[in-house]
């Protein structure tokens, strides 16, 4: 058998052929993120400049509050520059159905409230039982004497008064209407003094009606009136404007008892109408009046009555009516007084001042509580910016 050269050469002497190697791709060189670094440095620079080179100031303060003991008499008027008040009136009617005890002949007059106007330049007094007549000739009489303030044709004086029908019966249960005064007919006053009603007259009745025992009625009326009192007090509170206060002893409350003419077999519908008139004060005006009374050094700085729950009051002069012009009332207890912060004024006062001077000024301001803080930027700055717009006043409640 013939052999090849490969068969003759020993295996140890043979050359081993190298396997071909695949070439791998060469990764690209990393580029330095110049843009990102520049943007980051820019942001850091802006923040640094804002924090350390732009001058700003921040003052954190709270309004000063004190509790003031008082026991004195204050006087107020419906108009003026000192302590003033306004009168508000609220009404509410509630019903209760009770079991009737029998039937009885009943005769009752209708009644309601009218507003009397006066266009004269002088006040007009009207006595009790003054007659007011509708266009249809129905006559109602005033239940009390009244004085109508002076006025004009454009702005007449006015006052409200309860009127009672001159006769019993349902035909006097009329809708709102206008009235003249028969007693003034033929005089110049007939056109200048007149009246209008805003609500219907009610309660007029003549005939047989289910009734209840008098003792039971008295008990039920008392319960209805107690309920009405609470409802009217709540209604008065809801009628107040922001920053106003009233005291229950400086209110009047009247009740009008009646029965509904609605026929419910074997039952009686009791009605109770309550009318409350309250004298209302602004917290600011009352707070300043209290401070003028108890602190001779008070210079009229803005403040308000912030706590009145412990105060007791009583009317000592005047009347509580919608037309009341002046009153006097006693006030006793401990009043909470809080000053009003004027941020713009304080910023203007501190502008350009040193830190130490600002501390002294703030501690001397009666409206500022002793606990306050001052932050000046940049941190090495020891005086306030010259422009008050660069001073931020933060008022803590």
Residues 202-215: pLDDT tens digits? 889 998 888 888 89
- In three-state secondary structure terms, 395 is strand
Q: What are phi and psi of 88, to 5 degrees?
A: -125, 145
Query: 130 in a domain, yes or no?
Result: yes
Percent of the chain with pLDDT over 90: 71
Query: 188 in a domain, yes or no?
Result: yes
Query: 79 in a domain, yes or no?
Result: no
Query: 3 in a domain, yes or no?
Result: no
Query: 123 in a domain, yes or no?
Result: yes
Average pLDDT over residues 236-251: 96
What pLDDT score was predicted for residue 30? 59
The band of 17, judged by pLDDT with boundaries at 50, 70 and 90, is very low
Q: How many domains does the chain have?
A: 1
- Give the torsion through C-alpha atoms of 254, 257, 258, 260, to 10 deg: 80
Rg (CA), the chain: 43
Give the domain extent around 107. 102-211
Average pLDDT over residues 213-232: 94
Taking residue 205's Cβ as centre, other Cβ atoms within 10 Å add up to 20
Query: 362 in a domain, yes or no?
Result: no
**Residues 187 and 157 sit within 8 Å (Cβ to Cβ):** no
The band of 63, judged by pLDDT with boundaries at 50, 70 and 90, is very high
Query: 285 in a domain, yes or no?
Result: no
- For 280, residues 6+ apart whose C-beta sits below 8 A from its C-beta are 85, 86, 87, 88, 240, 244, 245, 246
**Residues 91 and 275 sit within 8 Å (Cβ to Cβ):** yes
pLDDT of residue 49 exceeding 70: no
Q: Quote the CA–CA distance of 380 and 54 in Å, as a whole number.
A: 12
Selection from 346, 390, 389 nearest residue 50 by Cα? 390
Taking residue 53's Cβ as centre, other Cβ atoms within 10 Å add up to 10
**Alpha carbon distance, N-terminus to C-terminus of the chain:** 117
Query: 114 in a domain, yes or no?
Result: yes
């Amino acid at each position: 058998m013939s052999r090849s050269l490969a068969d003759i050469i020993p295996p140890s002497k043979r050359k081993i052929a190298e396997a071909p190697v695949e070439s791998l791709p060469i990764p690209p060189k990393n580029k330095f993120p110049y843009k990102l670094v520049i943007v980051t440095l820019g942001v850091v620079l802006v923040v640094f400049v804002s924090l350390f080179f732009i001058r700003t100031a921040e003052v954190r303060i709270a309004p000063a509050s004190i509790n003031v003991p008082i026991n004195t008499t204050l006087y107020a008027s419906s108009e003026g520059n000192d302590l003033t008040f306004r009168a508000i009136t609220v009404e509410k009617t509630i019903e209760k159905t009770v079991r009737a005890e029998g039937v009885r002949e009943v005769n009752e007059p209708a009644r309601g409230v009218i507003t009397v106007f006066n266009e004269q330049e002088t006040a007009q007094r009207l006595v009790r039982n003054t007659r007011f007549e509708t266009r249809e000739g129905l006559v109602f009489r005033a239940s009390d004497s009244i004085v109508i303030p002076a006025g004009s044709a454009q702005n007449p004086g006015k006052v409200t008064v309860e009127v009672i029908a001159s006769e019993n019966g349902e035909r006097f249960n009329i809708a709102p209407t206008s009235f003249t005064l028969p007693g003034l007919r033929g005089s110049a006053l007939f056109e200048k003094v007149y009246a209008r009603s805003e609500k219907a007259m009610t309660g007029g009745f003549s005939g047989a009606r289910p009734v209840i025992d008098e003792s039971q009625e008295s008990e039920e009326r008392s319960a209805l009136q107690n309920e009405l009192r609470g409802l009217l007090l709540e209604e008065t509170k809801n009628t107040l404007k922001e920053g106003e206060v009233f005291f229950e002893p400086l209110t009047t409350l009247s009740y009008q008892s009646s029965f509904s003419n609605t026929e419910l077999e074997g039952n009686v519908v009791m009605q109770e109408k309550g009318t409350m008139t309250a004298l209302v004060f602004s917290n600011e005006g009352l707070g300043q009046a209290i401070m003028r009374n108890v602190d001779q050094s008070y210079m009229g700085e803005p403040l308000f009555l912030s706590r009145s729950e412990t105060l007791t009051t009583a009317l000592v002069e005047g009347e509580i009516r919608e037309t009341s012009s002046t009153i006097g009332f006693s006030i006793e207890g401990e009043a909470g007084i809080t000053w009003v912060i004027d941020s713009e004024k304080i910023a203007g006062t501190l502008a350009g001042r040193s830190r130490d001077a600002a501390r002294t000024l703030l501690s001397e301001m009666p409206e500022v509580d002793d606990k306050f803080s001052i932050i000046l930027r940049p941190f090495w700055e020891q005086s306030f910016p010259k422009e008050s717009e660069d001073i931020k006043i933060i008022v803590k409640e």
